[in-house]
Amino acid sequence: MGGKRLCGSVSVSGAKNAAVAAIPAALLVEGVCRIENVPDIKDVDAIVDIMKYLGAKVKRINGCILEINCEKINGFSVPYEMTKKMRASYYLAGALLGRFNHAQVPPPGGCCFGNRPIDMHIKGFEALGAKVSIDKGTIEAHAVSLKPAQVFLDVVSVGATINIMLAAVRANGLTVIENAAKEPHVVDVANFLNAMGANVRGAGTDTVKIKGVEKMAGGTYTLIPDQIEAGTFMIAAAATRGDVLVKNVIPKHLESISAKLAEMNAVVEEYDDSIRVTREGILHKANVKTMPYPGFPTDLQPQTVALLSLAQGTSIITESVWDNRFQYVDELRGLGAQISVDGKVAVVEGVEKLSGANVKATDLRAGAGLVIAALMAEGIPQMHDIYHIDRGYEGLELKLKSLGAQIVRKGDDKKRRQLM
């Protein structure tokens, strides 16, 4: 049921997009990788299943620690039934190529925002000396031995930056990636690799340098908190005229969001590892353009559009990362929002109220946006296809309930309930 203020504190889980890269990266390590602060989400379950299929021994300790031993791996190919469950399965290509000079990886799944090319990943593998062929989406890459390379990315790509790092960490010599993505999870994966024995420098800048090492022996690493989960709670607090302390965050990673919420008339207070968001006055309109980090993250675009649907005035949202990331807007309209979309631009005319309806999550972040819209709405909105949300948010409805939201999950997910 919507209309409740969210109040209290909530703790953010480990970063999904770091976890789903660090786990396959363990394939490069011939020792035990202990990864801490791993979120309990379906995408992690899916990549762990693939690791086990490949022969890795994976132990989950206390829910959020994974111990992965990849000393004995059975092969370098994976069935499509497993890779199609998530986007990040494409990291298996870089990791298997880096470890065995050979990878065969069927197409990934995950959220669909139109065309999601991987030409930059391929460009990187080829520069490293691999022969790459693609048959019906399955990548096959092999090399006699990988050689160092200079790779200039034509587009800033998180996936290509990480995949090329994975392929290069054990290549003989110095690989340089120019125009690299600078997202916090790119830096986190580089730090993870270094903790396991790699030599990666410059992650978080435009130029990443990877000096190949012969062997990676393993170690312990704690993943950063999830920037997008944190941003989602910040937006939810502003949306409900709430007062929420979002704990276990890195405020630096949230600067673009904090600034935008302040522009909308929320009060944002930063502490060392938490952020408090409150709103009392009217929500102001704002224009938002999504950009690679440190710009405003595309993965918070649907949540922001939901928020702005109740702002005073007209807001313009420009999606500059993905071609087709406004598919969920019809669902928001079903709740009474007034939004028109022309290509990559959405114009949101603020309305007085949203009200209950049946909506469906069309993808992970759209699902989070619709939850925020439902929290603002009058009546009892019902949301379907919430499995998308479970792919990337750990216990979202339970965390929101702890802040005072009235949410009931119908249908059962006992495992997740028992964990909280």
User: In the complex, which residues of this chain contact ligand EPU (CB under 6 A)?
Assistant: 17, 20, 87-88, 111, 116-121, 155, 157-160, 181, 298-299, 321-322, 364-365, 392
What count of residues does the chain have? 420
Q: How far is the CB of 402 from ligand EPU (least distance, A)?
A: 23
C-beta closer to ligand EPU: residue 85 or 87: 87
Q: Which runs of consecutive H residues, i.e. helices, occur in 335-385?
A: 364-376
CB 33 within 8 A of CB 219: yes
C-beta closer to ligand EPU: residue 86 or 308: 86
Q: How far is the CB of 371 from ligand EPU (least distance, A)?
A: 14
Angle ∠(35,41,43) on CA atoms, nearest 5: 85
Active site residue 111: yes
C-beta closer to ligand EPU: residue 71 or 119: 119
CA distance 303 to 374: 11
C-beta closer to ligand EPU: residue 74 or 115: 115
C-beta closer to ligand EPU: residue 25 or 321: 321
Catalytic residue among 33, 64, 70, 111: 111
CB 340 within 8 A of CB 346: yes
C-beta closer to ligand EPU: residue 111 or 386: 111
C-beta closer to ligand EPU: residue 226 or 243: 226
Phi, psi dihedrals of residue 46, rounded to the nearest 5°: -65, -40
CB 122 within 8 A of CB 149: no
Please state whether beta strands 314-318 and 288-289 pair in parallel, antiparallel, or not at all (unpaired).
parallel
Would you give the end-to-end CA distance of the chain in angstroms? 21
Instruction: Using CB positions, name the residue nearest to ligand EPU.
Output: 159
Please state whether beta strands 57-61 and 102-105 pair in parallel, antiparallel, or not at all (unpaired).
unpaired
Q: How far is the CB of 197 from ligand EPU (least distance, A)?
A: 23
CA distance 331 to 74: 45
DSSP code of residue 189: H
CA distance 189 to 177: 15
Sign of CA dihedral 343, 306, 263, 229: negative
Nearest to 75 by CA among 93, 90, 96: 96
Which H or E run includes 61?
Answer: strand 57-61
DSSP code of residue 227: H
CA distance 226 to 142: 34
* Active centre residues (catalytic): 111
